[in-house]
Each structure stands twice: as C-alpha cells, then as structure tokens.
Amino acid sequence: MAKSKNYRLKLSRELCKGCRLCIDFCPKHVLTLAEDKINAKGYPYAEATAPGNCVGCLTCVTVCPDCVIEIFETDTEGKP
C-alpha cells in the first residue's frame, strides 16, 4: 500500500492578532478568521476550517509575523 502525506496544523490562538496574512496567502483555503470568537487580547483569530485541504506548503507559517502556526507531517496508509 502506498503512503500518503497528511498535515496537522497547530495554531496558537492567544498569539494571533487576526492580521489575515495566513488566510490571504493560503493556496488551499485551509484557514479562516473566527467570526464570533476572540482571544484574550480581544482579537479574532485564525482557525483551520478545512485542515484536510492542507498540502504542507508552509506558506502560512512563512507569512505569519507572530509565529502562530506550526505544521506537522503525518503519514497514513493510503489507497493505491
């Protein structure tokens, strides 16, 4: 069986200031800005609403000025 790569996103909500850079630059539209939620600093934060679409390009990690996002690769058994 072939293995496929999947990715898990970890976002630090409390560090996010809602600048939207990760959202605007994500080519797969994985992230959105929380509409009715705010962090302790009073900012709406980015959240992964379509994590299954992540291709691990790391664009969101690169553009985030506050180092809010981490991406981890996970291998799972895929169908041939």
pLDDT digits (tens, 9 = 90+) for 34-76: 999 999 999 999 999 999 999 999 999 999 999 999 999 987 6
- At 4 the pLDDT is 77
Answer whether residue 24 is part of any domain. yes
- At 33 the pLDDT is 97
Answer whether residue 50 is part of any domain. yes
Parent domain of 68? 3-72
Answer whether residue 78 is part of any domain. no
With contact defined as beta carbons under 8 Å apart, do 22 and 63 qualify? yes
- Please state the pTM of the whole predicted model: 0.84
Answer whether residue 77 is part of any domain. no
**What counts of helices (H) and strands (E) characterise the chain?**
2, 4
Query: In CATH, what number is assigned to the domain containing residue 63?
Result: 3.30.70.20
Q: Report the domain count for the chain.
A: 1
